[in-house]
Structure 1
Amino acid sequence: MITNHLTVPAGILLPHALLESDAFAALAAFVAINTVMYVALAVAKILPKVYVSDWIRRSNERSEPRGIIPENATNAPAEG
């Protein structure tokens, strides 16, 4: 049995001359750069924040805390 198939374009077909034009190449480059930037922003958004001050020690920063309450104090009540 022989059937006739109709050819239906799957999308918009552009002429070959338009696809080879400088304007289309510039648009394609813009879309490519834009896509890479959005991917970089999305990846940067899911990563934890990095603070430069955690990596670099300033000269006016104390080497140990000098607060009233020591850092290793417990909340246990005093005996007595």
Structure 2
Amino acid sequence: MAAIETVLPMGILLPEGLLRDQSFAVLAAFVAINTIAYVTLAVAKVLPKVYVRDWFGNRNRRAETRSIDPGAPV
């Protein structure tokens, strides 16, 4: 990290005073939290859907099939 600081001094794009300001730190924290939120949403979108209903047994299953095919599984 020290090698980067010697090549690119602090404040190369913005003044150093602005980078050390409290409002800039608040903005940086907001951007960090926003980035984490969007990454979480993107990962959740890629994963398969989870249905909570499948975790619990279904009590109202039919004892007999109502299919036209009499050999259909229950």
The two structures have a TM-score, normalised by structure 2, of 0.66
Q: Which amino acid aligns with 2:65?
A: G
Following the alignment from structure 1 to structure 2, what is the Cα–Cα distance between the partners of residues 65 and 22?
67
What amino acid does structure 2 have at the position aligned with 1:73?
A
Relative to its length, the structure with more helix (as a share) is: 2
Could you say if the C-alpha distance between residues 65 and 51 of structure 1 is closer, same or farther in structure 2, counting changes exceeding 3 Å?
A: farther
Q: Which has the higher contact order (CA 8 A, sep 6+)?
A: 2
* Kept after mapping to 1: 8 A contact 2:18/2:24: yes
Distance of aligned partners of 1:73 and 1:39 in 2 relative to their CA distance in 1, 3 Å threshold: same
Moved over 6 A (4+): none
Q: Distance in 2 between matches of 1:67 and 1:73?
A: 7
Q: Is residue 68 of structure 1 aligned with residue 41 of structure 2?
A: no
Number of equivalences:
60
- Structure 1: gaps of 5 or more residues: 1-11, 75-80
1:18 partnered with 2:23: no
- Cα distance in structure 2, aligned partners of 1:40 and 1:46: 10
Larger Rg: 1
Q: Could you give the per-residue CA deviations for residues 18-38 of structure 1, whole angstroms, max 9, x where no partner exists?
A: 101110000000000010111
Identity %: 55
| Runs of at least 5 residues in structure 2 that lack an aligned partner in the other structure | 1-11
Q: Report the Cα distance in structure 2 between the residues aligned to 1:44 and 1:33, rounded to whole angstroms.
A: 17
